[in-house]
Amino acid sequence: MKRQGSLYAGPVYEMARKQFDDVADHLQIPADERERIFTPKRAIAVACPIHRDDGSVAVYQGFRVQHHLTLGPTKGGTRFAPSVDLSEVAALAIWMSWKCALAGLPYGGAKGGIAVDPASLSMRELESVSRRYMQEMIPFVGPHVDVMAPDMGTNEQIMAWFMDTYSMYQGRTVREIVTGKPVDAGGTVGRREATGRGVAYLVDRAMAQLQMNPQGSTAVVQGFGNVGSVAALCLAERGLKIIAVSDHTAAYLDRKGLDVPALLKHVGAYRTLRGFSSELLCDPAQLLTEPCDVLVPAATERVINADIAARLQCRILAEAANGPTTPEADEILVHRKRDIFVIPDILCNAGGVIVSYFEWVQDLQWFFWNEKEVFERLHQALERSFQRVMERARTDGLSHRDAAMAIGVEVVRQAKQRRGLFP
Ligand code: NAD
């Protein structure tokens, strides 16, 4: 349901609102101040027409939402998926704000996307729609205004096209307009793996806290794209058995442990998991409730609803995707399934934006770091956030999600209060 006067509606946006209101209640934020903190600053909708290979013209709807500009430029990914709409993008932008604030980055949140299935386009069509989208965004973005990055359905190549399009318009190379670029086009080492590596680092920390041994523990990973595949590989390297994985085309289960490098090789060659094995196929609906030590949803929003939450059989829920758990599912985790250690999304997948920040800093300075420097700083940043969330959860008696959100919301609130309200 759309609130009166609001541009936004829908379950994902309502979910972001509910999470915020719960934390705002805890922080006793007055109603008028809530609106100032929560309402997105800018929303842009554009039409992206392109020539298709068959000579016809197709028009794709594109969006970008910039949540707040109080701490610096906005930062956030660009999603290519048929389900993308303004309200989903707004919710993702708002989550980015709390994530950046929790990680101590000088950014507000943003998100963008195009309502398109990238798999339905040829390479030339994909390049056309990517370039047209960036061209339409030029009046609204900039290295000190709004910096894009990859998300679902986009990758390093698309970031290189974005950067090139913006640079052509400026008449000079502007690497710092997007992050997640290929290293040979001004990206940083470690960005492609950063989100998945960060997930594995935090799973490690949670296991240490619970005195669990990674060797021989089991993990299930939903989504085998950039984040899920790297998380699976890093967990396997730590000794965990990856017993099940899935993407939107197939799900596989083997309680003896799947061969993750072979899965990666298959996806490298065929883009999806389809066709990897006929013996190991399983029902995708069964995946999330499979008994395991670590469950990693790394696909999309709202996959863990109340029904699934009641049937979860994991010890650690590592939210690699944004918004995988609905508020109704959260109620169950908080009240009935307290033994599940939740690593909330704005902490769990923050490795991506942290290394994006490193990439932006390196691009602005034309001074590049090596892999050791990138990962050491990433781990330091994640460790700091992890400690702060654990401490806040303890002192305030909050769930990990509410503790992480409380820290993020407080940072934004404080900055707005200090700056005052213009004019
Ligand atoms: P991606 O496009 O590389 O991969 C998405 C994967 O999810 C694909 O394997 C796809 O087949 C699968 N998938 C989609 N719908 C599914 C479904 N219903 N069931 C099972 N699998 C499904 O995207 P990504 O970059 O890996 O992003 C995944 C999630 O992580 C998203 O929620 C994204 O917002 C979040 N995230 C990504 C980054 C990043 O750096 N890429 C950073 C932070 C958060």
Q: In what order do the strands lie in the sheet with 218-222?
A: 251-253, 241-246, 218-222, 294-297, 316-318, 341-343
**76 within 8 A of 149, measured Cβ to Cβ:** yes
Answer yes or no: pTM beyond 0.95.
Answer: yes
For the chain, give the longest Cα–Cα distance. 66
Rounded to the nearest angstrom, the gap between the alpha carbon of residue 312 and the centroid of all alpha carbons in its chain is 22
Helix, coil or strand: residue 343 = strand
Q: Distance (Å, rounded) from C-alpha 309 to C-alpha 306?
A: 5
223 lines ligand 1 (CB under 6 A): yes
Phi, psi of 250 (to 5 degrees): -165, 160
Which atom in ligand 1 lies closest to the alpha carbon of residue 154?
A: 2
Ligand 1 center to residue 224 CA distance, Å? 7
Q: Whose alpha carbon is nearest atom 41 of ligand 1? A: 151
Which atom in ligand 1 lies closest to the alpha carbon of residue 79?
A: 34
Instruction: Quickly count: other Cβ atoms within 10 Å of residue 291's Cβ.
Output: 13
351 lines ligand 1 (CB under 6 A): no
Residue 109 CA neighbour count, 13 Å, CB half: 27
188 lines ligand 1 (CB under 6 A): no
**352 within 8 A of 100, measured Cβ to Cβ:** no
Q: Distance (Å, rounded) from C-alpha 41 to C-alpha 63?
A: 14
pLDDT of res. 313: 97
Per-residue pLDDT of the chain (423 residues; tens, 9 = 90+): 666 668 999 999 999 999 999 999 999 999 999 999 999 999 999 999 999 999 999 999 999 999 999 999 999 999 999 999 999 999 999 999 999 999 999 999 999 999 999 999 999 999 999 999 999 999 999 999 999 999 999 999 999 999 999 999 999 999 999 999 999 999 999 999 999 999 999 999 999 999 999 999 999 999 999 999 999 999 999 999 999 999 999 999 999 999 999 999 999 999 999 999 999 999 999 999 999 999 999 999 999 999 999 999 999 999 999 999 999 999 999 999 889 999 999 999 999 999 999 999 999 999 999 999 999 999 999 999 999 999 999 999 999 999 999 999 999 999 999 999 999
Which among 73, 9, 86, 13 has a CA at the least distance from the CA of 46? 86
Ligand 1 center to residue 90 CA distance, Å? 18
β-bridge partners, 62: 46, 114
pLDDT of res. 338: 86
Which atom in ligand 1 lies closest to the alpha carbon of residue 350?
A: 43
Which atom in ligand 1 lies closest to the alpha carbon of residue 324?
A: 32
73 lines ligand 1 (CB under 6 A): no
Q: Is the dihedral of CA 124, 191, 182, 226 positive or negative?
A: negative
Distances (CA, A) of 365 to 4, 104, 186, 198, 361: 45, 20, 12, 25, 6
3-state secondary structure 245-313: EECCCCEEECCCCCCHHHHHHHHHHHCCCCCCCCCCECCHHHHCCCCCCEEEECCCCCCECHHHHHHCC
Q: Distance (Å, rounded) from C-alpha 313 to C-alpha 282?
A: 17
322 lines ligand 1 (CB under 6 A): yes
321 lines ligand 1 (CB under 6 A): yes
Tell me how many helices (H) and strands (E) the chain has.
15, 11
Ligand 1 center to residue 299 CA distance, Å? 4
Q: Distance (Å, rounded) from C-alpha 261 to C-alpha 236?
A: 9
